[in-house]
Amino acid sequence: MCPECVPKQGGVQASVPVVSFSFRSWHFSLGRTPFKSRELAKHYDERSASWQKTIERFGFEGAYRHLICRVLSQQRYRLDRHSLRVLDAGIGTGAMTSAFHAELGRGFQLDGVDISEEMLRVASKHLQFKNIEKTLAIADITDLPYDDDCFDVVLVAHVVEHLAIPETGFDELYRVLKPGGLLICSMTRRSAFGAFVQLLWRTHQVGISRALGWLRGAGFRDVRALPMEKGSAARNCSIGYVGRK
């Protein structure tokens, strides 16, 4: 995706819905234009130094570990292959990769992408002691620099809801997964906190049925929604999702 552009849908510039309601024969809808990629990258660059502290304050790494533990403990999502290639799409500080590594209990080959160069620097430092072979690069998840059927696992935390058309992101993540590959995802849930995030970051507020529809529409099977760890602040913010190619 061109970093200077916002996708268009049916010839009209796509927007993120904020308020929508009907009255008799009238329908009213209010939306916001999402950040362009370069704008979003700038916002994350500016917050990169403190972002890991925010993640820790809300207990996200622990919540990600709980999510990944629940996924990997289920027979339908088992990862039998010993040598894994993993993509963290929108890697941020590397929190979800760190949680995946802790739960998997062994090393793997990691490709991490983000639109924020400063976030990639933080991720590189955060993951430097992990027994993983990592390659980090600037890339947009709607236009990933990988061939089809590359990855055994794709991780994506709080990224897709930033897209004007989230389906384009899931289509691309599906493309780069190997047949039988596993997607583990988290998205901001519909809540008071979700509304705050939406206003601050111009993201979609995502209900469970809508999120599952996005995954199924991209072709994922065995799709499930999984609440975050009980008692964690992250549970009030997010919901986890999983599916197979």
33-44 pLDDT tens trace:
766 777 767 877
Within-domain flag for 167:
yes
pLDDT attached to residue 169: 95
Give CA–CA dist 222/45, Å, rounded: 36
Residue 9 resides in a domain: no
Any alpha helices (H) in the chain, and if so which ranges?
37-57, 60-72, 95-104, 117-126, 166-176, 192-201, 208-218, 233-237
- Tell whether 12 is covered by a domain: no
Q: Tokens standing for 101?
A: 């590594």
C-alpha–C-alpha distance, residues 10 and 153, integer Å: 33
**Chain-centre distance for alpha carbon 178:** 18
How many CA atoms are closer than 13 Å to the CA of 178, on its beta-carbon side?
12
Domain that holds residue 46: 35-244
For residue 11, name the pLDDT band (cuts at 50, 70, 90): very low
DSSP per residue over 97-158, as a string? HHHHHHHH-S--EEEEEES-HHHHHHHHHHTTTSS-EEEEEE--TTS-SS-SS-EEEEEEES
Dist. CA 8–CA 239, nearest whole Å? 28
Within 8 A by CB and 6+ apart from 176, the residues are 87, 144, 146, 147, 148, 149, 150, 151, 154
Distance CA 56, CA 76 (A): 30
242 neighbors 79 (Cβ within 8 angstroms)? no
Q: Domain with 98 in it: what CATH number?
A: 3.40.50.150
| pLDDT of 7 over the 70 cut | no
Give how many domains the chain has, as a whole number. Answer: 1
180: left (phi over 0), alpha (psi -120 to 50) or beta: left
Domain membership of residue 71 (yes or no) is yes
Q: Is residue 198 predicted with pLDDT exceeding 50?
A: yes
Are the C-beta atoms of 210 and 222 separated by less than 8 Å? no
Does residue 6 form part of some domain?
no
Residues 6+ apart with CB under 8 A from 113: 87, 88, 89, 90, 91, 136, 137, 138, 139, 141, 144, 145
Predicted pLDDT at 74: 94
The pTM (predicted TM-score) of the whole model is 0.82
In a domain, 114, yes or no: yes
Please indicate, yes or no, if residue 4 is contained in any of the structural domains. no
Average pLDDT value for residue range 113-134 = 92
**18 phi and psi, to 5 degrees?**
-110, -50
Residue at 188 is within a domain: yes
